Amino acid sequence: MNMLGAQGNPCAAAPSRVYLVQLLLLYLLSLFFMGSPQSDPAKCPGSSVAIPYPFTISDNSSIVRTLGFAILCEPAGPMLWLGSKLYTVLNISLDQGYLRVTGDTVYSQCQQNNGLVTTNFLNLVGTPFTFSHTLNKFTVVGCDAMAMIRSGYSYRGGCVSFCASEGSITTGACSGVGCCQASVPEELKALDLEVTSIRSQLQQSPSGSWSNISRNNTSAWCTKAFIADQGSYVFSRGDLDRNLTNLPMVLDWSIYGGRCSDARRAPQTYMCKENTECYTVANNTGYRCNCSEGFRGNPYLQGPDGCQDIDECKDEMEYPCTHKCINTVGGFNCVCSMGMTGDGKKHGNGCRRDTKLLITAGGGLPLLLVLLMLGFWTHWLVKKRKLAKTRQRYFLQNGGMFLKQHMFPQRGPLRIFTSSELEKATDRFSDNNIAGRGGFGTVYKGVLCDQMVVAIKKAQRVDESQVEQFVNEMLILSQVNHKNVVQLIGVCLESEVPLLVYEFITNGALYHHLHNTSVPMPWEVRLRIAFETATVLAYLHMATKPPIIHRDVKSSNILLDESFTAKVSDFGSSRPMLHNQTHVTTLVHGTMGYMDPEYFQTSQLTERSDVYSFGVVLIELLTREKPIFCGKLDEVRSLALHFSTLFHENRLMEIVDHQVAEEAGASHVKIVAQLALRCLRLKGEERPRMIEVADELEALRRLIKQHSVVDPEE
């Protein structure tokens, strides 16, 4: 992610909103066909699965097919129509808003191909359900498989599974060898798969003992892809040869009606009843209901089956008071015995001797004032200690101790910001100050109290992976001191969400200037940007100790200041190369179109992986084409492959930007193209080092300045 956020794919079609209208019609039909809700919960005969309202049982299969919340009772148990398939319902959660089902959820194919696209293998469009991105995992089983989740012409997720040798397959481990897993994209309604053979992609065949096995065991090359409950599937070596069936899958559900504030404006269809709280889900297109604190029941029903007051005083196992309990609507009160005072709660302050009696006995107003002052001071001290503990907890949660032990002093001390300072700088992180969005989170423009303009990176969620990226980027930047790297100014460790503060880069990302503007940059400026980026990568590979691999080199991570000087950013996924290491074995990470195919196949990251990605950026500068673009008949094409094909067919000038061709000339363009293609060689050992690339680019810059590159055709 950069200071202005990730760039979109113009080939991707805008998401259809027709299904929103369908959901509203389905809800109205449910009111017509099913009438008033019955006592909750219902059950199918012979089944233990509770079916709470708004889910209802219907004996009409055509209604079940039409209405998202209608359940059909079959001998095998309660069934639900999802798209064109019938699934068995395992359980329904009202509080957490999910539905667990099983059925035909596994896609399988055993033919080798260059990209089999399966549209709507699982389709939830037109239903109130989405694939749960928190409770599911997208899993691929196979030895020669890349399975990607598509949305139009863009990719939303996926993973790669291969088998280097039979001994490399480990039962129980789903780490990319025989089996791989990835997160399910948020708000996913349709599972459109693109299944590709890795061998066909790279025009290479596997080597070693596994290659010999594959000739006798063709089922080992079958690909199985599915979305399943993340706790339900454990990979086994035998899964490569057997069919996988009846894997549980979790679906999130919601009531269509927009945000809660919108739904309340239509009381005739608003589903949350008395004593409930409404919360918005499904990308602001739906909502769910929960009982308010102190109430229990079904929030979608009225009367005795709805949310009713809990009598906490009758809870013998967890009686809440130290003395006497008095139940109230939505809560309870504790009463202390005579001569005692306090909240009377077991988990509160309890009851203690009443000091007012002592004040009366003393008969002095000064004593009362002293006690009041003592009370205010105690309250202030408790509040201060509570705030300090909260900040210390966030400090530890955000990796503070690890940073304190491992931060390096080369860059000098970083500024430590408080959360209130950054809230003031961004007007409480107002949407008006958003400068960009990306996979890591959101970047805000802020103005500090000393009038310095900064960019503040705020993680979009708090989990281990986000904290790891946060800590990793700080550690990497603490070792980097280069004029063409975005400067880290400071951090905020006391807030729940990690915050990094950078210098603000005014002209945004190189990606924007190449692909989203009609004003082209002169070739001399583009060549300088390429040279400056190459020097940064050469510096990371050679001058830092240990050497650093950037791992996500792309035009959206190259920012431009007011003088169009390159500033390389986003080191969250970078990796250090320890002493005597030739590579780092990692889970595959990167951006499609820029990713090194050798790293993609082997999971072995080297400095030559950055060289490959830089080669793609160099082609972008020459052509102003995107790394993944739409060709004829709207097929998705690789810029690197297309550029190489045209070069070897002597048709290079067909793809080169006309301004570059006019300013640089055909001979100069050919030299740059040859350098880019050397960076894009499939074998990393055949690619040049970044220092060699930087030297050649500097020589080309000098030739341009001296007007010594002359096109013989001119």
Determine the 3-state secondary structure of 641 from DSSP. Answer: helix
**DSSP β-ladder status, 70-74 and 56-58:** parallel
Q: Angle at which helices 607-623 and 666-679 pack, to 10 degrees?
A: 150
For residues 572-586, one letter each, b for 16 or more C-beta atoms within 10 angstroms of the residue's C-beta and e for the rest, the string is bbbbbbeeeeebbee
Q: How many residues does the chain have?
A: 714
463 in active site: no
Q: Report H helices in 398-479.
A: 400-406, 419-425, 464-479
**DSSP β-ladder status, 488-492 and 499-503:** antiparallel
Q: Residue 675: CA atoms inside 13 Å, Cβ hemisphere, count?
A: 28
The active-site residue out of 552, 570, 610, 657 is 552
Contact between residue 70 and residue 56 where contact means Cβ atoms under 8 Å apart = yes
Write the Ramachandran bin of 157: left for phi over 0, alpha for psi from -120 to 50, otherwise beta. Answer: left
Phi, psi of 222 (to 5 degrees): -70, 145
Write the Ramachandran bin of 303: left for phi over 0, alpha for psi from -120 to 50, otherwise beta. Answer: left
The CA distance from 432 to 444, in Å, is 9
Range list of β-strands (E), 34-84: 56-58, 70-74, 77-82
Q: Which two tokens stand for residue 71?
A: 């359940």
Can you say whether the dihedral through the CA atoms of 526, 528, 533, 537 is positive or negative?
positive
Determine the 3-state secondary structure of 506 from DSSP. Answer: coil
**Following DSSP, what letter does each residue of 545-568 receive, concatenated?**
SS-EE-S---GGGEEE-TT--EEE
In 3D space, the residue among 290, 232, 282 whose CA is nearest the CA of residue 262 turns out to be 282
In this structure, what is the dihedral angle of CA atoms 597, 602, 603, 608, given to the nearest 10 degrees? -50
The CA distance from 460 to 552, in Å, is 19
Residues 6+ apart with CB under 8 A from 660: 523, 526, 622, 669
Phi, psi of 263 (to 5 degrees): -65, -35
The CA distance from 254 to 553, in Å, is 39
Residues 6+ apart with CB under 8 A from 187: 130, 133, 282, 283
Q: Which two tokens stand for residue 408?
A: 């390096």
Q: What is the DSSP letter of 712?
A: T
Q: Which two tokens stand for residue 339?
A: 């001569």
Q: Which two tokens stand for residue 528?
A: 């300088």
| Single-letter residue type at 410 | Q
Contact between residue 224 and residue 142 where contact means Cβ atoms under 8 Å apart = yes
Contact between residue 179 and residue 235 where contact means Cβ atoms under 8 Å apart = yes
Phi, psi of 310 (to 5 degrees): -90, 130
The CA distance from 102 to 86, in Å, is 9
The CA distance from 505 to 484, in Å, is 11
Q: Which two tokens stand for residue 90?
A: 């395992």
Q: Which residues are catalytic?
A: 552
